[in-house]
Amino acid sequence: MREHGLSSSINSGTEFLSGNASIQGVELCSTVEAMLSLETAIRITGDASLADRLEAITYNSLPAALANNIKAHQYYTLPNNVISINGGHGFNQDYANATLPGPNSGFPCCRYNFHMGWPKFIQNSWAATSDGGLALLTYGPTAVNAMAGGTQVQITEDTSYPFEEEVRLRISVSNSVTMPLVARIPGWCTNATVSVNGQTQSGVASGNFFRMTRTWTNGDLVVISLPMPIQTPSGPSSSVAIYRGPILYSLPAGENWTVRTPDPFGLGFDEFEVRPTTSWNYALQLDPANPSASLTPSRLTTPPNPFDPAQPSVSLSASAKQLPGWTIGWLGTQSFEPPVSPVTSTNSLLAVTLLPFGSQHLRVSWLPYLGVPSPTTRSFMENFDSTWSQRWTVFGGNWSARNSTLSTVPASANGVKALAMATAFTNFTYEADVLVGSLGNAGLIFRVTKPDIGADAYCGYYAGINSQNSRLEFGYANNSWHQITNVPMTIAANTFYHLKVQALGSRLRVFVTDT
């Protein structure tokens, strides 16, 4: 998660680990299998933080990948998904229809596998304790019937969680029973309260399981109050995700669904393309350190399907300005990365509504915010420590940083790159040690704008080494490659070379090992 975490609290995987970019995604199979793995791990370890993550994946990634009528799914779910049309995304494992809702989206594994998601989540929301009690691991409207304390016990969980902050547990027993009842207190909830028959309990702490050992009688009522703060974890280009409790909010775009491949049996299992009908390129008026000052929550009527896009269960009211320069990317199948926050805009401030990520198909969940831009303009040094992904955004490939070295595996898709997005240098000296294998090339890109996934999908310069063709390469790209010069040079594969670029106005100088 540290290097590959998406806004919806699951790691990227298209299908390889692929960084934290807003236009990378995760396979639906990975979502339901991550859920089941977490459900199992919670029961083994008793780690409450795993249940927090389980709820975030379940209530965001899972419904986001499914059509409202469950007659279509999408293979890859992207944090920022502003258009779903047939065509490649440049992923390591790419399918032209991987973001299209339909019965055959991507590879056909997900349409068989996703069905376990909700049933297994409900099945594993309760567990037995080692001392004969019951433990509530994850919240949602459920009922459990089990032997506890030597007696048949039924507990009905009355709640609209995660769309409300209160959970009511009603105990039904034929005879009184002494047993522990354990409830998880989420780590994001710092002021939870628990009452039993109206009596407030002491010792409730966030990120733990709260134990209530007592003699229970028929009709006892436990009320768990979980106030939901607004949280703003930081993402690519210093954008933010908006969480309230376990729900991730996103800025929706109007959707025009058109049938691309009709169901030959006429049963409604069609494949669709989805195009935006409204603007999606906004920056929020927001202070990430005090988001509640700018975002107003509303609880609406929860419909039978709480993720129905036509009847949202909850919303957040916000203000935002449009960013006309933030557009669909070079491939036409995804947006560019959000501009680095804070960002300015001369457009008018407008009212916008954020809705649950899981109820929208076209949406933006890594959101830029307004303010005075503060890019790095004087000096930048990187040792690729454990926090490197907070400063860099990767475009394609399977990157990792180990031993102060950033690398991507040879099997990565062609043309992968990593950029320190918050830098803005004009005249500079830029240097690094670069290694390339026996195939392909590797080097430095600079004065870059409009980066996207793809070999030449950016505007900017490139200077690099090529061991296969024994040369130094220098040129520029603007979604196609333009050679300036190639210099014959012996380049040994799998050997580091020190590359240095000096840029002063229009004069560019490139050095290899100070030559």
Which backbone phi and psi does 244 adopt, to 5 degrees? -130, 110
pLDDT of 1? 82
Per-residue pLDDT tens digits for 194-232: 999 999 999 999 999 999 999 999 999 999 999 999 999
| CB contact set of 209 (below 8 Å; sequence gap of 6+) | 46, 48, 135, 182, 183, 184, 185
Which backbone phi and psi does 92 adopt, to 5 degrees? -60, -40
In Å, what is the CA distance from 202 to each residue of 60, 368, 448?
32, 41, 56
Tokens of 283: 């920056």
What are residue 299's DSSP bridge partners? 314
Residue 347 and residue 334: Cα distance in Å, rounded?
A: 23
pLDDT of 465? 94
3-state secondary structure of 265: coil
CB atoms near residue 20 (< 10 Å): 23
Per-residue pLDDT tens digits for 280-333: 999 999 999 999 999 999 988 888 899 998 999 999 999 999 999 999 999 999
User: What does the pLDDT average to over 348-374?
Assistant: 96
Query: Over 80: is that where the pLDDT of 414 sits?
Result: no
Query: Over 90: is that where the pLDDT of 423 sits?
Result: yes
Per-residue pLDDT tens digits for 33-88: 999 999 999 999 999 999 999 999 999 999 999 998 999 999 999 999 999 999 99
What are residue 208's DSSP bridge partners? 185
pLDDT of 18? 87
User: What does the pLDDT average to over 353-358?
Assistant: 97
pLDDT-based confidence at residue 349 (cuts at 50, 70, 90):
very high
Query: Over 80: is that where the pLDDT of 411 sits?
Result: no
Q: Where in the chain is the domain with CATH 2.60.40?
A: 125-225
Query: Over 80: is that where the pLDDT of 410 sits?
Result: no
pLDDT-based confidence at residue 254 (cuts at 50, 70, 90):
very high
Decide if 55 contacts 35 (C-beta within 8 A). Answer: no
Q: What percentage of the chain has pLDDT greater than the value 90?
A: 88
pLDDT of 426? 87
pLDDT of 412? 64
pLDDT higher at 398 or 260: 260
Topology of domain 125-225, per CATH?
Answer: Immunoglobulin-like (2.60.40)
User: What does the pLDDT average to over 403-420?
Assistant: 83
Residue that the structure tokens 């986001």 belong to: 64
Per-residue pLDDT tens digits for 443-466: 999 999 999 998 899 999 999 999
DSSP per-residue letters across 2-70: TTTB-TTSSB-BSSS---S-TT--EEHHHHHHHHHHHHHHHHHH--HHHHHHHHHIIIIIHHHTB-TTS
Per-residue pLDDT tens digits for 144-170: 999 998 889 999 999 999 999 999 999
Q: Where in the chain is the domain with CATH 2.60.120.560?
A: 388-512
DSSP per-residue letters across 399-431: EEEETTEEEE-TTSPTT-EEE-TTB--SSEEEE
pLDDT of 22? 93
User: Radius of gyration of the chain from Cα atoms?
Assistant: 26
Per-residue pLDDT tens digits for 100-136: 999 999 999 999 999 999 999 999 999 999 999 999 9
Average pLDDT in the chain: 94
pLDDT of 302? 87
Decide if 300 contacts 312 (C-beta within 8 A). Answer: yes
User: What dotted CATH number matches 388-512?
Assistant: 2.60.120.560
pLDDT of 21? 92
Q: Which of 281, 304, 284 is nearest to 294 (CA)?
A: 284
pLDDT of 413? 61
